[in-house]
Every structure is written in structure tokens, then in C-alpha cells.
Structure 1
Amino acid sequence: GKASNPVNLIIRPSDQRTADFIEENLSKRLSSEELISFALEGQQIFLLNLEIPQPVKVEGETKKPDLRIGFDRELMKELKEQGFEIVLSPGNTSGSNTQYINEYSDLVKQFEINYVVFDGMEISGFPDDIDLMQQVITENHLTVGIIETAVQLGYLNQVGIDELIYDSGYPINRVYSTRNDEYLKEVNERYYRWVRAVIDRGIRIIYLVPFQNEKLYHSVNLEDTLDTVARFHQTMEEKGFNTNQPLSKLSAEMPGKFHRLAVSLSLLIGSLLYLGYLFRPHRKTVLPLLALGFLGCLALNLFTNADFTKLYALAAAILYPALSSLLALYYWRDNHQYSIGKQLAVSLAIILGVNAIGMYTIVTSLADITYIMNVEYFRGVKVAFLAPLLLFVFNYLVVYKGKNGIKKFLEDFLRTSPNYFILGLSLIGLVGLYLYLARSGHTAGVSVSSLELRTREVLETIFMARPRFKEIIIGYPALFALVYLYHKYKNEAIVLVLGLGVMMGSISMVNSFSHVFTAVTVSAQRTLAGLLVGVILGIITIIAVWVGEKIYRQWQ
């Protein structure tokens, strides 16, 4: 008889057809020493003389290792004839024979395959034969799907994939796996997650796993899955997406030194404008600063190998909201004589116009495939949300108190007993500031209420992309209230408190464009939707304030 090591795996096929399939495919993955074939009682037996990963327990279930024996071409042919598009989903093997990688090219040609999404935590060919997998991708012009993580940031770290996509020139597109929403039991919630993946995060490949609600029969889960897919396809087509065309290959060309120089020079000019409006320096001071800044930009971008694109994007996310607020403060201070309507129109023009420069600067700073595909991502979100608020306070003090009166203002403010009106506004401002910071960034510190979720779904149904809540709930209402109240009461504290709310919305507008994995057209439509809804809510805010004034006077 044959003796075998307990760690080895023995395969006993049920019939000759299965035996032929196993031998044909495993012989491309295992060497003759690793795959041993012999007859026993008239039946062919295979012994795998290599270490096989042991079964592991996941959430109480035993997950057996996938031996990755090979591809059933007859099944693939049948699926192709039924109209399915085949996506290659290979994994790595424990064997030392690399002939199976060459087989991929044959499969790609036979079944007209355009995409490859690796299965498991290692790519085919890792660690020593990644170049063979790269050759398959390059020669067949395949698109590699990189799977988005469950936290919707970056991509799944499949071992070897970084080297593969870099050496292949980034022929990539992003994949959303519906396994990430299996914890959701409501079919409607899963549907909206798919929609947001495409609209908000630029996902173009959905890896679909049938629903597995343990409380429902398998047939019901399958029916729910198919119904949700049909609804999802219909929604995507209604929003202008084509679900039947192959994905276009994105350019992997990276911005050059002169591109980065142009961005840095625009930031230099913007910074000098900001300082000029803030401190009113003499021309003799500005010209040397301009010359030094120009030489610095030349040195940083043309004579060093450092990449400052993230720094430029962060600078734009801070500079332009701060500059827009400074110009708005000057306008509010010096134009009491104009009507509320005109002041609102000019304020919106200042905020949107100046911030549009910031939006464009961020997009052009991060305009390469690594950011578009979320391989790299903007990491200065918290700083970009907080710094402009601090600069707004400084802007306010300079505009209303002057450079020399800041210290005196702070001393007087600390000694003054504020009235109930200002205390109320301050309390509202502090609550808004907390929610603003807690809900900012890639990971939120405050959970989303069910009411907000329902509101999001309504807005997503109406618009291509729903507007940001910071804009429509905080920013625009604060702007309308500020202009109305300041025009009426001439109290500078109104500008300080409500101006912070205006800044929150302004910052959010610019920050939307730092998510460059979202199409620029989608971010632009989101901003316009925010303007439309924000104006409506702003008018409602003025009406509510007016009614509140009436009630307050009657109460007194």
C-alpha cells in the first residue's frame, strides 16, 4: 500500500472525467514531485505532496482552503453563450509550476475577457513570478480591479498587487464588493450603498454576491438580489450611466514638473492676494515677496525630486475658503446701504467664485490615476476643515477691529457680559462646531440618524448627487440669517457667530473636490444642488427668524 504524510492531501475523483480535469489543470500548477498520481483498486488517485493551508474558523463556520484546481471551460462557454461577460478571478497557488499563468492568456482570448479581479489575499504569481502575471495583463490589455476596503478608503491589500499595478502602468479600476454590506438586512439600504458607490466614489465595477439573510429562504434571497440588481441598473441608466459598454482605459500619465510649477505659482499669487487684503502691505514689501516666492517655486518644482501635490491641495483647501471669507467680511462691513437681496446675491458670488478657484486647484493638483483610483488619497481633511475656521476668526478681528485693535478687542470681549441673544447664538455655534468636526474626515465620530438617512435617500432620488449637509443645513442658512440680522441690528457679534457657520459650508464646498475619485462633473452637480436647496432653506431660515422675532417681542 501507499503511505502518505498526514499533512498531504489525497484526492479520489468520482469518475474518469473528473480525474482528467484534475490532472490536466493541477499539472499546470504543481511539479511532478508535488503532484503524484497512482492507481488504487482500479481508480486513479492524486496525492498533493505540498503544504496545504489548514481550514480556519470564521464566525463559527469552518472555511476550507480553495485548491484552485483550474477553470471549467465548458461551464465558461455555456455562460458566455447565455450572454454573460466573463471576468477572470484567479488566485495564487501553493505549487511551484507557473504554466497555469500562461493559460490565462488563452482564456482571455477565447472568452474575450477584459477584466481581472484577483481572488484571495495573494495575487497569482506571488512572490517570484509577478512579472509573468504582469505580462498577461499588458499583452492582453486587461483592466485590473482593485477592491475597495470596507471603510471605503484605499483598496484591499492583496499581497503583490502594489508591485503588479505599478509595473503594469496602473491599468486599474475600482471594485465595490457587496460582501461589505452583508451586515445590512434591509434590501433598500443595500441598494443605496451601491448607488453611492458609483455616484459618490466613482466605482465602476460591482462584485455582486447573492443576499444571504439567514431569516429568509434561499429562493427569497435570490429573488431579492435579482430585483435589487434590476432596480440598480434602471437607476444608473436614468442618471446617465451606460451599463452595457466596456470601461474606458484611464490615462496613467502623471503630471510633470511644469504642471506642479503652475499650480504652486497660482497658490503663490492667491496667498499674496490674501495677505494684501489682510495687511495692506506697501508695494515695496510685496514685490520682494513675489520674487522670493517665484524663485522658491522654481527650486521646489524643477530642481528637486520631491512631490508636493498633497501639500498644494491642502494649501488650496485652506487658502481659498479663508480668502472668500475675508472678501465677504469687507463687503458686509462696508455695504449696509444695499438691500438684503443684493447683499445675499453678492455674498453668494464672492463665496462661490473664490472657492471655485480652490476647487479647480485641488482637482488639478491631484489629477493623476493614483488619486482618481484612490490608491493615494487626500489626507489633510481635518486640517482643511479646522484651519479656515481659525483664519476666519483672525480675518474678522482684522476687518472689524484693525490690526492694532485685536488685543484690545479680546480684552474687552472677555470683560463684557453678553446678552441672551448672543449667548444663544454662541450655544448654537458651539453645537454646530462639534457636529461639524465630528462628522468631518474619512471616519465620522457621530453616527448618522435614521432621519438623515431617509433625507439622503430623498435627495439622491431628486439629484444626480445629493448635496452636502454641512452646506444646506449649516452654511446657507447661516449666510441668509447673517445678512438679514446684521443688516437689521448692525451687531458685529452676529457676523462672528454666524460667519463661522457660513465658513463651515464654504469649506465643505471645496472639500468635496478633494475626493478626486468622484467625477468632477458629479462634484459640480453636487455643489449646484447644494446651492439650490441651500437657497430654499436659507429663505425658510429668514422666515423662521422673522417669526421668532415677532414671538420674542410679544413675549417681552
Structure 2
Amino acid sequence: MLKKSYSIMVFFIIISLLVAGVIVFHRSYLENNFKQVEMVMSLNELRELSYQEGRDEIELLAKIKKSGINSIAIHEDTLESLVISGKILYFSNQELNKLNFFLTSIDPFEKFKPSPGEAYIICNDKNDYFRLKENLQRQLGEDLVRDIGFLPNLGLKVKGSEDKLAKLGLGFREEDVKMIKNNGFQVILRLKNFSQINKQDIDFKFSESEKTGKISGIIFEGETVLGYPSKENLIHTAALLKTKDYPFGIIEFADQKGIETIAQQASGLAVRVHSITKEEMEIISKQKATERWIRAAKERKVRIFYIKPFMKSDSNLIEENLAYIKTITEELKASGFKTGQASILSANYQEPKIFILLLILGVISAGIILLKNTFNLKNYQEYSLLILGILFSLMLLFFNQKILLIKLMALLAALIFPTLAVISNQKYFLENDNFRLKDIQNISKNNLSFTKMIKKVLCGFFKVILITLTGALLIAALLSNSKFMLGIEQFSGIKISYLLPLLLVLAIIWLKVNKGKLMILENMKKPILIEHVVIILFFAVFLVIYISRSGNFSFLPVLGIEEKIRIFLEKTLIARPRNKEFLIGYPALLLAMSMNFLKIKEFKIPIIIIGVIGPVTLINTFCHLHTPFLFSMLRTFNGIWLGLALGLVAVTIFYYLVKTFRENI
């Protein structure tokens, strides 16, 4: 008969599952309506392409619009871009020194003597002159930016190194904005940061952006975002974004300094951006690039594609780029997406703190059940742990540490549920009184034991999956808010969640096999055999590979055959399951249960530990909140049925090998 405390813990888990179901239902609804992707190209890069190929930029803009591009990113002017466009003449200090002997012999330059480190800018339009002067004085200081006396309202002399001057953002050209809008595109502005920026400078940058009229959003340019390094300035930038309702881009893998602070303050306007770097574009194939774009939209909630053109081709470069853009657009639509202004993900389904507490109650209850299975806790100990867990959670909420609490409980769930899934079903893995000698004897006489084994293995397998899915659902619900879903906040402890459940299962099984005793000294006295050394070395290498290949980044390269398998599965199954889940984890889990049925002790515990990789990987799938929930469910389903199929094949072969061996003894 179940103890009352156990029934209470199970009841709390069921309640938390119901709450989780409500949350992920709303999350899935939101994600299903979050399907519009903005296709963006840079005006500077399009100009470079048109110059290189000798095409008119207006003609090129019309063609890329037909291919699927709906927005153009406009960068702030630089001295170089203004020179190329013919808007200014720019003479660096070195150039002035070379021309000095010539200039001083010509009126009105006869009294002209440039100072060391001074550069000259001559504009052909007063509007450009005033724009440049304002921007330069804000970034360099009024003392370093002066008028050229004999060229009023046209000439400026500026002090500063060439490198520093070259990096300065000098505002946006009105004619560029008008041209883009007149050709039917939306505008995305690329604002540049600069050192010594203050709130007044940030206000000025935003007032300049307002002059461009309605815009689709802002993507900060360079290694730092507007306002960095001052946190106060970054918060001011975020406040202006919210006031003006400007969506802003978070560029994947760019690690722009300061973006996290802005994203924390204005998460409701954040949009994930993906781009393939210029260096990568020189070596990547069009097919791989297209696959990468679609994967970014499907798996990581990317809603702005910042597309760089190919700049080398053996044939017509313009036509190749147009075909490339068209392919991306068609593949997007085939995957259920639309193109247009990027969808904004701004909802949060955990506002009632009671929801969070109920989810946490489920995690704590599962942890107590695991401890009870391991240490046979008494009722008062279980209730004490439950109360302490609730009080700790309330304390963190009281001190406004909601995100920290959510991260901590999500990590605990990722550690507890895979471990609990195996330990609570130990009868399928460890020898017990339900196995009788005649079960082994029957193996050589008929196939009834095979059917019985398959039934038992399947029963154990699905119980493990069910408990693990419970934890996965709680994690998905705990982390279901916009900050986690957009990658502004992330699940903490990926490597720990991959390794610790394996070690916990090993430790608990060790205790159970040794009837609660560690038996460390006793085992240390035993002689070390060669097979022990081989096993230890094997698992050491296995763990290094396993941990290094877990998470988003690895120092071990993906093998060519593995990459081909991934692409095949991705195209065939839509949601590609993780290789270690269905190729290693689940088959090992099924094999360990069949070994238990067949009363085979040798190597069974190592196989069990390898099998834990299956539930661990399942849980990890739901820790990546930038992946849509239904996509994660499909990935999990594919992993389960593939792993089950491969595992049953392995179990069948293993059974008949054992049967043949025993018949010949």
C-alpha cells in the first residue's frame, strides 16, 4: 500500500502538470501565430554589388524586391561612404602634407598651413555640412571640429587619427531613405555607438532616426550597442526604444556588448536576427546557406534574415543572388512561414506567481520521491523538505529573484526527472524476486520467454519515457516567457544537466547493489584486472566525447557521415532527433532491461548508465526555449520511435545470441 506522503507528492506533480499544460498550450498558440520573417539586405552591400557588376542600383533594388527582399538596412554614413558617393572631398593629414607645397602657392590657400593630425572635409551641400558638423562635434568635441574660414558652411577641419575618423557614424542621408521607401521597401536603421557617448547623444541619435519617418526596426552596428559601456545609458536606449516602439535585433552569435542589458529592459520589442558572415559567404554553398536560414527560422525563432550577397561567381553574379534569395523565400513559405515585417514575440504566460509556485511544487515533490527511493525517508523528513523548498521559493520571489528561481528549478528538474525515471523503475534494470530460474531455462526450449521479455522491456521503456516527459513539460512551462524564448535569458547548467544524472544513477545503483553500503574500501582491496582498466579508459573517453558534444558549441568536429545523417533526417522527419538520443541512449536502455530479464550481470551497470543518455537528451531538448514547443515535441517523438526501433532490433539480436550460446553450453 502506498504511503500517504507518496500519494500527496504524486498529487502535487499532477497539479503542476495541469498548470504546465495550460501554459504550454498558450505558448504553442503564440508560436503558431509567430510566423512572419523579415528578409533584409544592406544598402551598402547592394551598392557594392551593383558597382562591381556595373548595374544601376535602382534596377537591382527592383529585382531583389521581386525575389523576396522586403526591407533594406541603411547604415550611418562614414567619411568613406560620403567620398564614394561624391558628397564630400576628404583630405587626410598625410594627403594635406603632400599637397602643402602646391596649395600654399594658390590663392586663397596662400595663408593655409595645416596643423599636425588635422584632416579637411569639404561638402558640396549645406545640409550635409550641418549634419556632419553636428555628428562630428558630438563624437569628437567642439574643440576638434572647426570651420574652414575661407569655405563657410562647406568646409570643416577635424583633428583625430585616420582609424578613429573612419569608424565614426555620421547620420543618415535623406535621399537614401526616400529612395528605399519609394521602391516599396521597409527601412531598418543601423545605429552606431561611439566612445564617451552620453544621454544627450543618444537622444540626438534617436531624433535623427525620427527624421527618416516610419521604420521597421533598428539593428545596432558594430561590436557594441548604443550607450555601451554605461549601464545607465543602455537603460536610456532601451527606454527610448519602448517610447518610440522600435523593434530591435539581437544578432545570433555576434555577442554585441550591451545588448543583454537593452534586451532585459525592452524584451517585448526584441527580434532574433541571423546572418551569415562575409567570410563564411566566400566558402559556403547556396544549398547549405539555404538550409541554415530555414533551420534558423524553424528551430530558433529567428524572424529577421539579414542576407549578405555572394560576391563571387563563375556565371552571372546578379542572377545567382536573385535565384538564391528566391529559393530562401520559397523554402520559407513551404515550411509554413510568411515574409513581411518581423513578428514580435512579447507575451508572458507566467504572470500569476501562483503558477510558478505550483510548477515548483511539482519539481520539489519529484525530488522528494527520488530521495525517498534512495534513502527511505521518513514522513516528517519528506514534509520538512517540502516546506523548506516552498519557503525558499517564496523568499526568492519576495526578493524579486524570479528569473533566478526559475533557472534553479528548471536545472533541478533536468537533474531529478531523468534520474527518477530510471531509479523508480529499477525492477526493470536490477535483479529482483520476480525473476525465477525457469525463466532462464525456458529460453532454450521456446520463444515464449522472448515475447515476455519484449513486453517487459516495452513496459519499462515507456514508464521511463513518461516520467522524463513529465519533467520536460515542467521545464517547458517554467521557461515559457519571452525572455527565455528569445534567448535573452537561457537555461543555466547544460553541461551539468548532461553529466550529473548519469553520475547520480551510477551512485544510487551502486548503493542499491551493495544494500546501502558504499563498499569503497572493500572494492579498493580487490586486484585491478586488465578488463577493469579497459572499461575505465573506455568510459573516460566516452564521457569526454559525450560532454564536449553536448550543448551548442564543441571542440570536436562533426564527422562527414554524421553531417549527412543529420541532413537526411532533417529533410525526412522535419524535426531531426538528436543522434545520441536514438542511436545510443534508447537502444542502451532497452538492452539493459533485456540483460536484466536474461539474468546477465556482466557490463549491465555500464549499459544502464549509457542508457540514461536517452532521458537526459529528451529533457535537454525542452531546455532550448528558442525552439518552438511543438517542434521539440516532434523531435522527441521522432527520437523515441527511432530509438525504440533500433533498440528492439538490438534486443532481438542479443536475445538470440544469448539463446544460442546457452543452448551450446
Aligned counterparts of 1:552 and 1:226: Cα–Cα separation in 2: 64
Bigger drift between 116-125 and 385-394 goes to 116-125
Question: Residue 231 and residue 289 in structure 1: after superposition, are their counterparts in 2 closer, same or farther (change >3 A)?
Answer: same
Q: Which residue of 2 aligns with 1:25?
A: 131
Aligned counterparts of 1:139 and 1:431: Cα–Cα separation in 2: 54
The normalised TM-score by structure 2 is 0.69
Residue number among 327, 330, 335 corresponding to 1:239 in the alignment? 335
Contact 1:258 1:302 in 2 (8 A): no
Q: Which residue of 2 aligns with 1:457?
A: 567
Aligned counterparts of 1:265 and 1:33: Cα–Cα separation in 2: 63
Residue number among 412, 423, 428 corresponding to 1:326 in the alignment? 423
Aligned counterparts of 1:536 and 1:325: Cα–Cα separation in 2: 20
Which letter maps to 1:173?
V
Contact 1:212 1:218 in 2 (8 A): no
Residue number among 208, 217, 230 corresponding to 1:103 in the alignment? 208
Secondary structure of 1:175's aligned partner: strand
Contact 2:348 2:480 in 1 (8 A): no
Contact 1:28 1:100 in 2 (8 A): no
1:369 aligns with 2:478: no
Bigger drift between 432-441 and 386-395 goes to 432-441
Contact 1:261 1:302 in 2 (8 A): no
Structure 1 residue 183: Cα displacement = 6.3
Aligned counterparts of 2:522 and 2:578: Cα–Cα separation in 1: 34
1:158-173 to 2 correspondences below 5 Å = 160-168=258-266, 171-173=269-271
Aligned counterparts of 1:396 and 1:100: Cα–Cα separation in 2: 63
Contact 2:222 2:256 in 1 (8 A): no
Aligned counterparts of 1:476 and 1:48: Cα–Cα separation in 2: 71
Aligned counterparts of 2:346 and 2:467: Cα–Cα separation in 1: 30
Aligned counterparts of 1:369 and 1:52: Cα–Cα separation in 2: 43
Residue number among 412, 429, 442 corresponding to 1:315 in the alignment? 412
1:393-404 to 2 correspondences below 5 Å = 393-404=506-517
Aligned counterparts of 1:426 and 1:277: Cα–Cα separation in 2: 28
1:472 aligns with 2:579: no
Structure 1 residue 118: Cα displacement = 0.9
Q: Which residue of 2 aligns with 1:144?
A: 248
Q: Which residue of 2 aligns with 1:70?
A: 171
Secondary structure of 2:170's aligned partner: coil
Contact 2:217 2:247 in 1 (8 A): yes
Question: Residue 25 and residue 298 in structure 1: after superposition, are their counterparts in 2 closer, same or farther (change >3 A)?
Answer: closer
CA deviations over 1:27-84 (Å, ceiling 9, x no partner)? 44245766545586x89742243535517xxxxxxxx824433323333333334333
Aligned counterparts of 2:219 and 2:460: Cα–Cα separation in 1: 49
Question: Residue 472 and residue 145 in structure 1: after superposition, are their counterparts in 2 closer, same or farther (change >3 A)?
Answer: same
Q: Where in structure 1 are there 5+ consecutive unaligned residues?
A: 56-63
Aligned counterparts of 1:47 and 1:265: Cα–Cα separation in 2: 68
Aligned counterparts of 1:515 and 1:357: Cα–Cα separation in 2: 16
1:488-527 to 2 correspondences below 5 Å = 489-527=598-636
1:387 aligns with 2:520: no
1:47 aligns with 2:156: yes
Bigger drift between 476-485 and 287-296 goes to 287-296
Secondary structure of 1:376's aligned partner: coil
Which letter maps to 2:646?
L
Residue number among 172, 175, 183 corresponding to 2:273 in the alignment? 175
Structure 1 residue 465: Cα displacement = 2.4
Aligned counterparts of 1:354 and 1:78: Cα–Cα separation in 2: 59
Aligned counterparts of 2:157 and 2:352: Cα–Cα separation in 1: 52
Aligned counterparts of 1:123 and 1:300: Cα–Cα separation in 2: 31
Contact 1:170 1:252 in 2 (8 A): no
Question: Residue 255 and residue 382 in structure 1: after superposition, are their counterparts in 2 closer, same or farther (change >3 A)?
Answer: farther
Structure 1 residue 475: Cα displacement = 1.0
Contact 2:126 2:153 in 1 (8 A): no
Bigger drift between 126-135 and 523-532 goes to 126-135
1:481 aligns with 2:599: no
Residue number among 251, 269, 273 corresponding to 2:347 in the alignment? 251
Question: Residue 22 and residue 474 in structure 1: after superposition, are their counterparts in 2 closer, same or farther (change >3 A)?
Answer: same
Question: Residue 249 and residue 380 in structure 1: after superposition, are their counterparts in 2 closer, same or farther (change >3 A)?
Answer: closer
Which letter maps to 1:121?
E
Contact 1:22 1:69 in 2 (8 A): no
1:156 aligns with 2:256: yes
Which letter maps to 2:128?
I
Q: Where in structure 2 are there 5+ consecutive unaligned residues?
A: 1-108, 440-450
Question: Residue 540 and residue 236 in structure 1: after superposition, are their counterparts in 2 closer, same or farther (change >3 A)?
Answer: farther
Q: Which residue of 1 aligns with 2:88?
A: none
Which letter maps to 1:474?
I
Question: Residue 196 and residue 495 in structure 1: after superposition, are their counterparts in 2 closer, same or farther (change >3 A)?
Answer: same
Contact 1:8 1:47 in 2 (8 A): no
Contact 2:418 2:616 in 1 (8 A): yes
1:208 aligns with 2:307: yes
Secondary structure of 1:200's aligned partner: helix
Question: Residue 68 and residue 227 in structure 1: after superposition, are their counterparts in 2 closer, same or farther (change >3 A)?
Answer: same
Contact 2:146 2:158 in 1 (8 A): yes
Contact 1:258 1:301 in 2 (8 A): no
Question: Residue 389 and residue 26 in structure 1: after superposition, are their counterparts in 2 closer, same or farther (change >3 A)?
Answer: same
Structure 1 residue 272: Cα displacement = 1.2
Secondary structure of 2:339's aligned partner: coil
Contact 1:355 1:510 in 2 (8 A): yes
1:344 aligns with 2:457: yes
Q: Which residue of 1 aligns with 2:180?
A: 79
Bigger drift between 112-121 and 357-366 goes to 357-366
Contact 1:474 1:502 in 2 (8 A): yes
Aligned counterparts of 1:237 and 1:99: Cα–Cα separation in 2: 40
Residue number among 523, 537, 557 corresponding to 1:411 in the alignment? 523
Aligned counterparts of 1:12 and 1:425: Cα–Cα separation in 2: 76
Question: Residue 477 and residue 312 in structure 1: after superposition, are their counterparts in 2 closer, same or farther (change >3 A)?
Answer: same
Contact 1:475 1:502 in 2 (8 A): yes
Which letter maps to 1:174?
R
Larger relative CO (CA 8 A, sep 6+): 1 or 2? Answer: 2
Contact 2:577 2:636 in 1 (8 A): yes
Which letter maps to 1:486?
N
Q: Which residue of 2 aligns with 1:538?
A: 647
1:7 aligns with 2:117: yes
Which letter maps to 1:242?
K
1:213-292 to 2 correspondences below 5 Å = 216=313, 219-220=316-317, 222-244=318-340, 246-251=342-347, 258-292=354-388
Contact 2:235 2:261 in 1 (8 A): no
Q: Which residue of 2 aligns with 1:115?
A: 217
Aligned counterparts of 2:653 and 2:291: Cα–Cα separation in 1: 33
Structure 1 residue 286: Cα displacement = 3.2
Structure 1 residue 173: Cα displacement = 1.7
Aligned counterparts of 2:128 and 2:468: Cα–Cα separation in 1: 62
Question: Residue 168 and residue 201 in structure 1: after superposition, are their counterparts in 2 closer, same or farther (change >3 A)?
Answer: closer
Larger radius of gyration: 2
Q: Which residue of 2 aligns with 1:60?
A: none
Which letter maps to 1:518?
T
Contact 1:374 1:517 in 2 (8 A): yes
Secondary structure of 1:12's aligned partner: strand
Structure 1 residue 496: Cα displacement = 0.9
Contact 2:461 2:590 in 1 (8 A): no
